[in-house]
Structure 1
Amino acid sequence: MYTCNNCGEFVTRDFVRVFGDSDDEVFGCPSCMNMREVMNGGASRPGVATE
């Protein structure tokens, strides 16, 4: 099961594959970032989420 490293919310494997980093981790999700931030790569960089 995959979770957001920022807020702990569940994220799907597909979300991690598309928006995560090369280690299959995400640092933001739709629960703690807006989709613009996610789409601009914020989910794959630690410290970007604005929870």
Structure 2
Amino acid sequence: MLVEVKIKPKLRFYFWLRMHRAIADILIDLALARQYKEWADKDLAEVLANLTF
């Protein structure tokens, strides 16, 4: 049996905002991880290039 809980509009907006901020935080973390990986790959390529000469 489902029970419907009524939430005041102001609180509903607060929950909505918190959820979207959490999603945004996850997306930012993923973007940073991708950038760090690209930097690490670039640094590794430079190190390997220097070792071959």
Do these two structures clear the TM 0.5 threshold for a shared fold by scoring above it?
no
TM-score between both structures, scaled by the size of structure 2: 0.21
The answer to which structure has the higher helix fraction is: 2
Which structure has more relative contact order (CA 8 Å, sep 6+)? It is 1
TM-score between both structures, scaled by the size of structure 1: 0.22
